[in-house]
Amino acid sequence: MIKEVIVVEGRDDITAVKRAVDAQLIAVGGFGINKKIIDKIKEAQKRQGVIVLTDPDFAGNKIRQIISKRVKGIKHAYISQKDGIKNGDIGVENASPETIIKALKNAKYEVKEKREEFEISDMVFFGLTGKSNSKAKRDMMGKELGIGYCNTSQFLNRLNDYGITKEEFKKAISKVNNIIDKEKYNE
């Protein structure tokens, strides 16, 4: 049972999340987020808290941003594109119950104060940008940290905005590097 209300994009997402957890859900109906829906999300946030779980694509990110601007203090849960794809279609509705549960457990709050714990030099140093495998590495890191996949700039912002600590980051990068090393060894 999840105490927060989970906000998703559509009916198929509701079905997928209900297969994974017992929770109340609100579907925003894609970009059709109107004042009535925002008011409903605000009320849910006041009473129980809200977790936003949108598709791992451009539209899902845009919807997440719209909600974030209008409703403060919400949590964000992410699934990776790899975990949300089926027959070329990307969405929460394609994720396994295990993936959805893990995403909800790893949901993060945006921190209120502006943090600059991480800088672009960290992205370069750890190979999260500028290397042939940087995209795959960011994808793995996003999954490990529960902040989803994104480009280098967005990844850096999420590290800072979601209050990821250096310790969490080091633990995740170590795990990701071990996986990559094992894959190279097995080739």
Extended beta strands in 63-165, E state: 75-77, 85-86, 89-90, 108-109
Tens-level pLDDT at each residue, the chain (187 residues): 789 999 999 999 999 999 999 999 999 987 778 999 999 999 999 999 999 999 999 999 999 999 999 999 999 999 988 899 999 899 999 999 999 999 999 999 877 677 889 999 999 999 999 999 999 999 999 999 999 888 999 999 999 988 899 999 999 999 999 988 877 767 6
Q: How far is CA 35 from the centre of its chain?
A: 24
**CA dihedral in degrees (79, 169, 175, 64; nearest 10)?**
0
State the pLDDT at residue 99: 95
State the pLDDT at residue 1: 75
State the pLDDT at residue 180: 85
- For 1-110, CATH gives 3.40.1360.10
**CA–CA dist 145, 162 (Å, integer):** 10
State the pLDDT at residue 111: 74
The sign of the torsion formed by the CA atoms of 51, 18, 46, 58 equals positive
Domain ranges of the chain: 1-110, 114-187
State the pLDDT at residue 154: 92
